[in-house]
Amino acid sequence: MASSATMRFSATSTGAEAALPRRNSVAGFIGVAARSSAKSRLRFIGRNANLSLRRRMSSFPVVKCVSGSEAKAQDPVAKQQEATTSLSSFSPDASSIASSIKYHAEFTPLFSPENFDLPQAFLATAQSVRDALIINWNATYDYYEKLNVKQAYYLSMEFLQGRALLNAIGNLELTGPHAEALSKLGHKLENVAYQEPDAALGNGGLGRLASCFLDSLATLNYPAWGYGLRYKYGLFKQRITKDGQEEVADDWLEMGNPWEIIRNDVSYPVKFYGKVVSGSDGKKHWIGGEDIKAVAHDVPIPGYKTKTTINLRLWSTKAASEEFDLSAFNAGRHTEASEALANAEKICYILYPGDESIEGKILRLKQQYTLCSASLQDIIARFERRSGTNVNWEEFPEKVAVQMNDTHPTLCIPELMRILIDVKGLSWKDAWNITQRTVAYTNHTVLPEALEKWSLDLMQKLLPRHIEIIEMIDEELIRTIIAEYGTENSDLLEKKLKEMRILENVELPAEFADIVVKSKEAIDIPSEELQSSEQAEVEERKDDEVEAVAKKNGTDESSIEDEKEELPEPVPEPPKLVRMANLCVVGGHAVNGVAEIHSEIVKDEVFNAFYKLWPEKFQNKTNGVTPRRWIRFCNPDLSKIITEWIGTEDWVLNTGKLAELRKFVDNEDLQVQWREAKRSNKVKVAAFIREKTGYSVSPDAMFDIQVKRIHEYKRQLLNIFGIVYRYKKMKEMSAAERKANFVPRVCIFGGKAFATYVQAKRIVKFITDVGATVNHDPEIGDLLKVVFVPDYNVSVAEMLIPASELSQHISTAGMEASGTSNMKFAMNGCILIGTLDGANVEIREEVGADNFFLFGAKAHEIAGLRKERAEGKFVPDPRFEEVKEFVRSGVFGSYNYDELMGSLEGNEGFGRADYFLVGKDFPSYIECQEKVDEAYRNQTKWTRMSILNTAGSYKFSSDRTIHEYAREIWNIEPVQLP
């Protein structure tokens, strides 16, 4: 175990050096570029190399090199030596940056020195930038250590970061000098940045939100860390073939990760299986089982225009070297010899391993526990070190805030209890009080399948001590429920227990079972009468069943008398489960949704019983996105226009200033510039589409985009059905009619279907089949194109979103918690078409109802519409039926889409009955799309709508969200470095 949880963030410290907390040893900070015309001073150093290696780096060819005297002056090793005495002797100009890059290319190489090509240029550049971040990181945490401030810890299974180079140098305000430096070395900055693979640490909005939060935390100077897992392959890399989606391993670490610091001196034991025994001291001891080590990998996260640089700590897993069975290996039993090592390492192989098998379930649970256990041990070690010799555990919640991003880190609750009770010797009462005051939970979904439930038996085997603790928490909850509702109304009490307990389908502990039984006995109906009534009901039901069978078979009752004698099939016992979301609500002090409508659904439906019991726990924290990455850096053309018209670049930190664009919305000069910026971005995307798919699209057509995880509730199927309807109508018209009735469109899809989600993969296949037909139809030409962009990720989003003109956020109302891509699109002047779901509701309020294309059923209507369907009362629109028949005609190829179409038909049954109301909303959707065409024909009106979307997006900065978390959940304050 590490003796210190926040050892200095040096790439080169020895174990002995790293173990010592060296406060105030940094002579100064790496500054950000000055806000005035003068450049601030920056010490740009190389990694600690042997000082005797000070020599000029000229062994690899570059297009332009500095002179001998300049090279000597800019030797980064010499500059490092200088760092202890002078803060202002080194300016971050292009020559010094080029020298640092050259240094890393020679002394920290991952490539042979003969060439200085793009991959090597990227790695050397990234390592030189990392040096600057390390200095700021060390300074930040030296200061936090000195002040012993309260710190927030954000635990998430996903951090979808995207590329880091442009973001880092943008936040340091060094984009220009880096571009010039790389030009001196014969490369363009954008080409170098393009070499960086996206970090495969996330899947969708959950992970992207987490990364936006880290950016805002650093920018706003809040003391915080992120904790996650370092996946070797992440989710998967998506290929699109004639058969649809194909998954292959993502090799994002193939060339190494230049941003991370591997902290072999910071590791913690993590245990699985084993058994729990009581010691002579009365304490519980978890012994035996399988032991692994979690090793820290640190990634610095810089703030914008600030010295503050916080940390994302990622855990990798390994077994101790003694676990390798050398004798078995020498005997030829190679697999057996390395089994323990393989079992440990595979925990961090991929994000969300398939969990249809028991092995997959075990692996997922191991991942979740590894994240929680390693992170909490690290947090506690830091708390103890900062406390010195006098550790007061009552102060723990005053120094630590733990945020669980969704239910994946739920095991934080029993793990913190285990450490406090079993390891630190606290009483149950004190540990429970500390845990509840420390932990908070963000709910991200209303989908039942996403509110995690784990098999009690599986968890009992894997984490035996935690199940004991969870059972005790469940007992505490039962006492609370009984105290709240009493025992007079047994039906109400049973209902509340069934709804709220953490353990599902588990018998009540004996002490409570008696209470419920006694309350049942208090009912007025005599038991004999009740038994007689129930018996009569059973007999009557049996007679009805016999009669029904007889009618079905055309026989009388006597002919099936033998069947009446047969015993029915035994009903299998329902599985015993642990409800993780309920545990989160019970074990934490705050529960928040991520949009106003979602938070109301959380209170009114998902956790209504808990809300009635603890209304003070429930909050809303509408999501946000960082305006740095999602407009300032990814859309420089538009950013320049905004700055010019507002008169300041302060909007990047204070997005409220975006509202000032409203004053100029009708100015023709602004509108012309706005359209030019949009078209420039569309030209880039057209080239990108040709490169990735082979399809040629016109930048003069409307770019209509839906990019997000492929899921039935997100209704990509509704979008593609609308396109099919559009295509069918075009085919029924003459060329002149088509041109008169339809605006040219490029319909772009992107997103991954989970590998085992068969229906989602069918949707991907269907979209690509429609594209293959439409895009090769000479009658249609540029009037309609359908493109599926493979392997959608953050970097692809950074290209598509600035070019978007219409964006689809069309989930079934009440099913999308928030969405964050809708915010990014609006921020970049894209107009949304969508339902009143998630953050769409608030976006529409801010940008104005006239600047949002609304359609579809409302959230409060959904349950009634499903009931109507189940009763057979739904009458599908003829246009919807027309589309289904058109698909079944084979116009899009020979693939059999009966299963896909079947999900939209019938009135009941799993995977049928159009649960997500595609058919219900279809007529409203296509009528709304006609309004889109009409609006787009008037480019002055469309540009006005676009400007007002950007102007109204100010609320959706993650800076605003983080201020609310800090104030209302974490109780932390900004810490401005001196």
Give the Cα separation of 177 and 190 in Å (integer). Answer: 13
Paired strand residues for 101: none
CA dihedral for 526, 528, 531, 535, sign (positive or negative): negative
Per the residue annotation, which of 8, 297, 709, 762 is the catalytic one?
709
Give the Cα separation of 260 and 618 in Å (integer). Answer: 37
Paired strand residues for 263: 296
Within 46-164, residue ranges assigned H as helices are 68-73, 76-82, 94-107, 118-147
Q: Does 824 participate in catalysis according to the annotation?
A: yes
Alpha carbon separation from 956 to 36, 591, 767, 793, 952 (Å, rounded): 29, 20, 31, 21, 9
Check: CB of residue 91 under 8 Å from CB of residue 113: no
Q: Does 820 participate in catalysis according to the annotation?
A: yes
Q: Does 444 participate in catalysis according to the annotation?
A: yes
Per the residue annotation, which of 655, 820, 835, 961 is the catalytic one?
820
DSSP 359-373: HHHHHHHHHHHHHHH
- Sheet containing 853-854: which strands, arranged edge to edge? 784-789, 745-750, 702-707, 806-809, 831-834, 853-854
Q: From the centroid of its chain, how far is CA 758?
A: 22
Give the Cα separation of 216 and 211 in Å (integer). Answer: 9
Q: Quick one: tokens of 911? A: 């995977």
Residue with tokens 């009581």: 278
Q: Quick one: tokens of 753? A: 């279907």
**Nearest to 821, CA basis, from 834, 813, 966:** 834
Give the Cα separation of 471 and 408 in Å (integer). Answer: 19
Per the residue annotation, which of 163, 598, 714, 761 is the catalytic one?
714
Residue with tokens 């990735």: 692
Q: Does 912 participate in catalysis according to the annotation?
A: no
Q: Does 285 participate in catalysis according to the annotation?
A: no
Element (H, E) at 229: strand 224-229
Query: 885, exposed or middle or buried, with CB in 10 Å at 0-12, 13-18, 19+?
Result: exposed
Per the residue annotation, which of 237, 408, 708, 726 is the catalytic one?
708
SS3 content of the chain, % helix, strand, coil (to 5): 50, 10, 35
Q: What are the two backbone dihedrals, phi and then psi, of residue 441, each rounded to the nearest 5 degrees?
A: -130, 130
Paired strand residues for 764: none
DSSP 555: -
**Nearest to 583, CA basis, from 602, 610, 612:** 610
**Nearest to 714, CA basis, from 798, 808, 627, 650:** 808
Q: Quick one: tokens of 609? A: 């019983």
Per the residue annotation, which of 79, 364, 444, 466 is the catalytic one?
444
Paired strand residues for 240: 245
Give the Cα separation of 218 and 225 in Å (integer). Answer: 9
Residue with tokens 């450049």: 39
Q: From the centroid of its chain, how far is CA 351?
A: 11
Q: What are the two backbone dihedrals, phi and then psi, of residue 205, each rounded to the nearest 5 degrees?
A: -60, -35
Provide the residue count of the chain. 978
Write out the E strands in 582-684.
591-593, 618-620
**Nearest to 755, CA basis, from 234, 396, 333:** 234
Give the Cα separation of 394 and 434 in Å (integer). Answer: 7
Residue with tokens 């010691």: 279
Q: How many helices (H) and strands (E) does the chain have?
A: 40, 22
Check: CB of residue 372 under 8 Å from CB of residue 380: no
Pairing of β 577-579 and β 400-405? unpaired
Per the residue annotation, which of 408, 711, 762, 824 is the catalytic one?
824
**Nearest to 226, CA basis, from 348, 314, 160, 141:** 314
Q: Quick one: tokens of 80? A: 């490092």
**Nearest to 627, CA basis, from 805, 824, 798:** 824
**Nearest to 851, CA basis, from 794, 789, 935:** 935
The set of catalytic residues is 444, 708-709, 714, 820, 824
